[in-house]
Amino acid sequence: MKAKYYLITSLLLLTGLFAEKPPEENIANTEETENQFQAYTASASEETEEKTQINLASTFEEEPTEEVQAETISSYHPFRLVANKDPQGWNVELDDGSIWRAVDSSSASEMKYWKTNDPVVIHPTAFPNWAGGRFFFLNERLNATAIVELSQGPILNRSTNAQITYIDYSSGYLEIQDGIGRSSYFHIDYADSLLFQNWRPGQSIIVGSNEDCYAGWLSNYSYILINIEKNEFVRANLN
């Protein structure tokens, strides 16, 4: 009886010891599968986030705008841009709406080849009677000059048109402001003070350069201010 009991007990113990356990390979496979799943989840999350950022960037990306070369009346060499001209070059319109005419056929032949958006600096001539005009254009793209006179003033409601906003006659102080509210402050050459006394707020001004030209060699003033209404100019420095 006892022998039978021990035999049954031994069989039960052996059955428990050799019961099927999950093989280590299966456990390793399970861990590997879990790791692969976590890696896939992380990758999918990063990809989703990246796509979201791209979508947001494309949603708020500004449309490309055409680059506009703007003139500032406070630049070292103030310039205007060619807006239009007649085919023969006798008349040129600048971006402020002012129209200038060539004084002779030689100047017209030069301006005939000028193009829209060419930068033009307005200079005074040293000897107007000899030159035939008080001003000459310097086309900075072509490094070409043409002697001109003003035919028509700028258009008042354009952003590129500047007007006198303040005058101090005693000190020769002048403020001008363009159509978008940019102000520049000038001090007038004392030698031009008599002309300056007749200037008034509200008159339109075109700014030219008195540098790098014969007329400016004996002057310490870098700019000219052309008063459209008075059809005259004074020399000035930025204040």
> What phi and psi, each to the nearest 5 degrees, are found at residue 73?
-70, -5
Least confident of 27-31, 62-66, 105-109, 166-170: 62-66
**Residues 31-67: pLDDT tens digits?**
554 555 455 445 544 444 444 343 333 332 333 333 3
Helix (H, G, I), strand (E, B) or coil at 165: strand
Q: How would DSSP label each residue in 69-96?
A: ----TTSSS--EEEEEE-TTSSEEEETT
Domain boundaries in the chain? 80-238
Q: How many residues does the chain have?
A: 239
Estimate the share of the chain in helix, then strand, then coil, as percent rounded to the nearest 5: 30, 30, 40
Question: pTM of the prediction?
Answer: 0.68
Higher pLDDT pick, 170 / 44: 170
Mean pLDDT of 59-80: 47
Q: Is 146 exposed, middle or buried (0-12, 13-18, 19+ CB in 10 A)?
A: buried
